Structure 1
Amino acid sequence: MSPRSEDLARLVGDDDRDTAAQRLRDAYATGHLTHEEMEERLDQVLTARTHGDLAAPLASLPDEDAGTTSTIGAATGRIKRRGAWRVPRSLKVESAFGKVRLDLSKAIIEHPVVDIELQVGTGRAKITVPRDAIVELDGLHTGLKDARYTPRRPARPGGPKIRITGTMGLGRLKINHARR
């Protein structure tokens, strides 16, 4: 399926450029590009203004790894991830009645942007993000209770951006930054 012309004309943001640059680095690391090809295409990505400008340097790359998207689900009970677990580029968490606990503070985060989609019914969710993470909640819809999050100034630049979307039914979402 080819992209529509209005999609190609949309302006790109830093997140789009970061994602495209990561795809180029991944293609280079797996031998799909030479160093010179990666450098040339990286220049094109960094100066791209529209999605159409991004299409050319990414055109011959292999499709993104399907392993960059994961779903965790449970009707009841707990969903818990902590320690040194590998965080996918896109994570969908589905829980009808249980509690969700995601601790990203010691997790392996290989992507500059991580999308977490929450589909939580009546349970609570708590997410601990790295100290230098930037959190966006623009796409999150809450039911009875609002999400509890106090943004903090990143300790150092370059931390991951964690975008949280989805729906919290009757439960509450609480987000904390790791202390260390």
Structure 2
Amino acid sequence: MNAVSDVDRERAVELVQQAYADGRLDPAELERRLERALTATSAHELEPVVADLPDEVVLITTTGGRVTRAGDWQVPRRLRIESEYGGVRLDLSRAHVPYTRIDVELRLGYGSATIILPAGASADTDGVRTAWGRVTCKAAGRPRPGELHVKVTGQMPYGRLTIRAARG
């Protein structure tokens, strides 16, 4: 289980407060969710507090450049990458992932993508559409309790998507 950092807890509190300000939560629900967010000790406990609330999609765009994220980076709950010709490499094996599920949307014209998962993680690629491309997923397809699950969607007419576990 991933311990909850102060940053993760603060982000959850912000999402709950914003939902209240937007009129999506009544005062009683606000109080209940804030209490759960502030007392959560693991990502597994924190995730349900904000799971049904809209959160920001982190958007990365490039025309022909390569998008690479590796090492100790903060993985957002929702990530969309758009590129006409560039490639994508997302290495989640040493990243900080405060969620048990993340959504990755790929919109790649001619580029290919590789997603490297930490041990025990699973992935669902059923939402990826290709024309002349290929999707290869060497990870489990069903979510495992308490483990990271990556849902990948998008369009890759001519690109390839490879999902695999980290080596070594």
Q: Normalised by the shorter chain, which TM-score bucket?
A: 0.5 to 0.7
CA deviations 1:69-111 (Å, max 9, x no partner) are 2011100021111111101010000110011111111111011
User: Secondary structure in 1 aligned to 2:36?
Assistant: helix
Determine whether 1:73 maps to 2:71: no
Q: How do 1:1-180 residues align onto structure 2 when only pairs under 5 Å count? A: 26-27=12-13, 33=31, 38=36, 66=56, 69-152=57-140, 157-180=145-168
Gaps of 5+ in 2: 1-7, 18-29, 38-47
TM-score, length of structure 1 as denominator length: 0.62
Aligned-pair identity (%): 36
Deviation at 1:27, TM superposition (A): 3.6
Q: How has the CA–CA distance of structure 1 residues 96 and 172 changed in structure 2, closer, same or farther, with 3 Å as cutoff? A: same
Q: How has the CA–CA distance of structure 1 residues 133 and 76 changed in structure 2, closer, same or farther, with 3 Å as cutoff? A: same
Q: Quick one: which amino acid aligns to residue 123 of structure 1?
A: G
Q: How has the CA–CA distance of structure 1 residues 144 and 88 changed in structure 2, closer, same or farther, with 3 Å as cutoff? A: same
User: Secondary structure in 2 aligned to 1:26?
Assistant: helix
Q: Give, in whole Å, the separation in 2 of the partners of 1:173 and 1:153.
A: 15
Q: Give, in whole Å, the separation in 2 of the partners of 1:116 and 1:153.
A: 15
Deviation at 1:125, TM superposition (A): 0.8
Between Structure 1 and Structure 2, how many residues are aligned? Answer: 135
| Alpha carbons 2:105, 2:154 under 8 Å: kept | yes
CA deviations 1:17-44 (Å, max 9, x no partner) are xxxxx99x9349x9964799539xxxxx
TM-score, length of structure 2 as denominator length: 0.67
| Alpha carbons 1:140, 1:164 under 8 Å: kept | yes
Q: Higher Cα Rg: structure 1 or 2?
A: 1
Q: Give, in whole Å, the separation in 1 of the partners of 2:84 and 2:34.
A: 50
Deviation at 1:145, TM superposition (A): 2.2
Q: Give, in whole Å, the separation in 2 of the partners of 1:35 and 1:174.
A: 38
| Alpha carbons 1:131, 1:179 under 8 Å: kept | no
User: Secondary structure in 1 aligned to 2:158?
Assistant: coil
Q: Give, in whole Å, the separation in 1 of the partners of 2:83 and 2:12.
A: 33
Q: How has the CA–CA distance of structure 1 residues 153 and 118 changed in structure 2, closer, same or farther, with 3 Å as cutoff? A: closer
Q: How has the CA–CA distance of structure 1 residues 179 and 157 changed in structure 2, closer, same or farther, with 3 Å as cutoff? A: farther
Gaps of 5+ in 1: 1-21, 40-53
